[in-house]
Structure 1
């Protein structure tokens, strides 16, 4: 079977995964890292993408970060300000957004789409080196749940300009479930999907039934992200420097830029190890800084922020009328053990799926979806991007003085509900009727009658678009 690919491009990083011989796996970049920073820089006349753009961050570089925020067609002033403050290039916002890169004697202009294309081109090169056979590189992308179709189309065009053949764009929560093969369950379950990236947070409750994935509730927060924790750690180190050398790194943008870079690396190391060493050459006024940071110290630094990260999930759980069976964690910042346990403790009875690195989960799900799509060559891949209609009303089934909701508003066009009926020995005939309101009149023209078999039987209701078909088994 041909190799298929999945990409998750986030605000802070990008991950590339492949699906071949029935297995999804992450492809490391040329530096050996499984995740590539979503950072682009102009260094003199040379464009740098990924780790080379992020590391060092010399004054000669013009850098853009968090470009994905401006790929959303519905971006706002908060998004623009966030990108401006974290980047070192200018942003012109007149007829359309334009980045102005000044590096040395060179000035070049670009836009969010071009920057995204450069990142995809970097990933395309990595993917090309991973396969022996020539041919189109089939790809599935993930996009935030709240993005419009127009925003998703921008992602598709950028990936196609980079050389990929894009099969489909799926939502990030759906990709997270696909990574763990959750949709193959035979039982109806509810899953909490918690994604914490570098600058945003998404929490969703997803219903999985009969192979269908339905988003029940969702909360998106653009003010929560791992960068807040990185900044707290950087500020802590800055205070340590000030206390020892009487120099304040917070007064220097260059020094704080270095501190943020090293604090981010330190944060990721502490996700797997109990201590991390921070060494910053020429941090301020020629002073080098060397320090060990323990995981316990880091957890103490971020402890005041934990309640803010738990709040969206807690709010969603309290508003949901049902049991949550599983928890899926995704996003690079969810590698932090303290955050993992804080979310898991919200639902002690739920199974927490942790077999995949959180910053690789969405890319793995995309790769698995791509593998399934190319395994059915008779499908027209373009048809998979069409919008699907969902049921616009609740449907209730009434029988034997009982009322059961068999389909709820938002159900997929093909769904099933099974009712086990025990009419008793004295009942000779059972009548079933369909209603849009539990107390309203039936909307079906005919009543479905079943002669009692003097034993329990199964009634299967199948939703075919707006038509309900009843069968007895």
Structure 2
């Protein structure tokens, strides 16, 4: 029996979600965390992935961070410099990109694809342990909107090498829309999807019409990310330490590496709590450091950066002439309340959707898409040039004395509509008929035995190419 999963592998973290019993949910890793750091380290001669790689004595490890940037076939020199600045392994960029991991015990060579495969291996193990029965692990992946097909195929290959059966790759804004089930919105809707990750951000305007999701505008920035906020918080703690002990952690690379790690943990805590305690053992010259950081202090430390983070969203809103009625937040850094309120203030009349943890949104959307695809096993999505025909006419549903338009002209294949049907308790069977015009003859009819159903019940209509399937639940 196949199981449906969704994965979002970002620059800083990875999230795994599953689709079971009609609903998506995030699967925690072996440490109990819902998000796994996308950090890989060679410690001695052993590979560490996730939290073990991120924590511990960084000086004894060869570490690679932000590997996803170099999975893009069109990566720039800026991307290479950025990854080098956060990693402790050497990167050779001759004919092929090669990582050189060197520790006191060994020296190993790898590349971005192998590193990504190791992360997918970790997530495959977590997914396998969550399954009750043996079966295929069907997967939907999310990729940045600006990535080429070649870049998308690289992550597909890595996931398949780890053991997953990849059904589809969807863009990150579409996954965010699907996490909130917005594609089922009846009216045409424009949504601002704002993603702020560890090292980059996107602002997208997405239009939803008849179950069809289209990205109208997009702005991508590789110079804005949560790492900037982490650095501001680390600098604030360093100044506090310097003021008390007359020692400057900013002069020591080892001390700042420790500070950045603790500042990142502190930032995550302050996203949900009003204060966080920082304890750093032997920060500099054997001196330990203890400090309580309030959310107000943190917000004051990052206040100068907030206008720059709002700039992509502000620009795309000004360039778009339509009405934006909803805002979807994704990316781990969007957990910060100050940033959430700043985005909401850009569109005071729009509904801010923040019910799902922002760093889980894209994975949940992918898992939901995987679940929908498994419900339609006859669909083949492997051929990129398949011609898709949209519905040419409105379709109406009639039952008893009711008439409902279930699909409008232009609806995409695989669209769904759910109707609540309320009939008398004595009704045992009911006929549903489909019409292209309410006044014309039916072109299809379906009779259901509803005697054993709880009333009212629901009727689900699914458009599969030119075929409409009716189900009662």
Q: TM-score range by the shorter chain?
A: 0.7 to 0.9
Q: Which residue of 1 aligns with 2:290?
A: 290
Q: 1:416 to 1:204 in 2, by over 3 A?
A: farther
Q: Which residue of 1 aligns with 2:115?
A: 115
Q: Which residue of 1 aligns with 2:168?
A: 168
Contact in 2 for aligned 1:56/1:258 (Cα 8 Å): no
SS in 2 for 1:298: helix
Q: Which residue of 1 aligns with 2:337?
A: 337
Distance 1:272 1:365 in 2: 23
Matched, 1:225 2:229: no
Alpha-carbon shift at residue 10 of structure 1 (Å): 0.1
Distance 2:183 2:35 in 1: 26
SS in 2 for 1:70: helix
Contact in 2 for aligned 1:64/1:87 (Cα 8 Å): yes
Q: Which residue of 2 aligns with 1:81?
A: 81
Q: Which residue of 2 aligns with 1:215?
A: 215
Q: 1:461 to 1:291 in 2, by over 3 A?
A: closer
Contact in 2 for aligned 1:4/1:19 (Cα 8 Å): yes
Contact in 1 for aligned 2:271/2:335 (Cα 8 Å): yes
Distance 2:179 2:312 in 1: 23
Matched, 1:72 2:48: no
Q: Which residue of 2 aligns with 1:414?
A: 390
Q: Which residue of 1 aligns with 2:125?
A: 125
Contact in 1 for aligned 2:90/2:99 (Cα 8 Å): yes
The within-5 A match list for 1:321-336 is 321-336=321-336
The within-5 A match list for 1:270-285 is 270-285=270-285
| Superimposed CA distance per residue, residues 323-365 of structure 1 (whole angstroms, 9 cap, x where no aligned partner) | 0010000000000000000001100010111110000000000
Contact in 2 for aligned 1:202/1:221 (Cα 8 Å): yes
Segments of structure 1 that go 5 or more residues without pairing to the other structure are 390-411, 419-459
| Superimposed CA distance per residue, residues 7-56 of structure 1 (whole angstroms, 9 cap, x where no aligned partner) | 00000000000001101000000000000000000001000000000012
Alpha-carbon shift at residue 214 of structure 1 (Å): 0.6
Q: 1:205 to 1:57 in 2, by over 3 A?
A: farther
SS in 2 for 1:224: coil
Alpha-carbon shift at residue 464 of structure 1 (Å): 9.9
Distance 2:282 2:409 in 1: 71
Q: 1:222 to 1:413 in 2, by over 3 A?
A: farther
Q: 1:43 to 1:461 in 2, by over 3 A?
A: closer
Q: 1:367 to 1:87 in 2, by over 3 A?
A: same
Q: Which residue of 1 aligns with 2:447?
A: none
Q: Which residue of 2 aligns with 1:192?
A: 192
Contact in 2 for aligned 1:192/1:324 (Cα 8 Å): yes
Distance 2:272 2:86 in 1: 27
SS in 2 for 1:380: coil
Alpha-carbon shift at residue 59 of structure 1 (Å): 1.3
Distance 1:294 1:325 in 2: 34
SS in 2 for 1:62: strand
Distance 1:138 1:24 in 2: 14
More displaced stretch, 130-139 vs 257-266: 130-139
Q: Which residue of 1 aligns with 2:240?
A: 240
Alpha-carbon shift at residue 57 of structure 1 (Å): 3.8
Distance 1:221 1:417 in 2: 41
Q: Which residue of 2 aligns with 1:308?
A: 308
Alpha-carbon shift at residue 58 of structure 1 (Å): 2.7
Q: Which residue of 2 aligns with 1:22?
A: 22
Contact in 2 for aligned 1:413/1:463 (Cα 8 Å): no
| Superimposed CA distance per residue, residues 255-307 of structure 1 (whole angstroms, 9 cap, x where no aligned partner) | 00000000000000000000000000011110000000000000011110010
Contact in 2 for aligned 1:120/1:158 (Cα 8 Å): yes
Contact in 2 for aligned 1:143/1:170 (Cα 8 Å): yes
The within-5 A match list for 1:412-451 is 414=390
Q: Which residue of 1 aligns with 2:9?
A: 9
Contact in 2 for aligned 1:14/1:38 (Cα 8 Å): yes
SS in 2 for 1:75: coil
SS in 1 for 2:11: coil
Q: 1:463 to 1:181 in 2, by over 3 A?
A: closer
Q: What TM-score results when the alignment is normalised by the length of structure 2?
A: 0.83
Alpha-carbon shift at residue 105 of structure 1 (Å): 2.8
| Superimposed CA distance per residue, residues 67-89 of structure 1 (whole angstroms, 9 cap, x where no aligned partner) | 00000000000000000010000
Distance 1:387 1:92 in 2: 37
Matched, 1:353 2:353: yes
SS in 2 for 1:186: coil
Distance 2:203 2:410 in 1: 31
Q: Which residue of 1 aligns with 2:203?
A: 203
Segments of structure 2 that go 5 or more residues without pairing to the other structure are 395-407, 414-435, 440-473
| Superimposed CA distance per residue, residues 152-188 of structure 1 (whole angstroms, 9 cap, x where no aligned partner) | 0000000000010000000000000000000001110
SS in 2 for 1:59: helix
Contact in 2 for aligned 1:205/1:215 (Cα 8 Å): yes
Alpha-carbon shift at residue 463 of structure 1 (Å): 9.1
| Superimposed CA distance per residue, residues 402-451 of structure 1 (whole angstroms, 9 cap, x where no aligned partner) | xxxxxxxxxx8626799xxxxxxxxxxxxxxxxxxxxxxxxxxxxxxxxx
Q: Which residue of 2 aligns with 1:34?
A: 34
Distance 1:307 1:416 in 2: 46
Contact in 1 for aligned 2:3/2:135 (Cα 8 Å): no
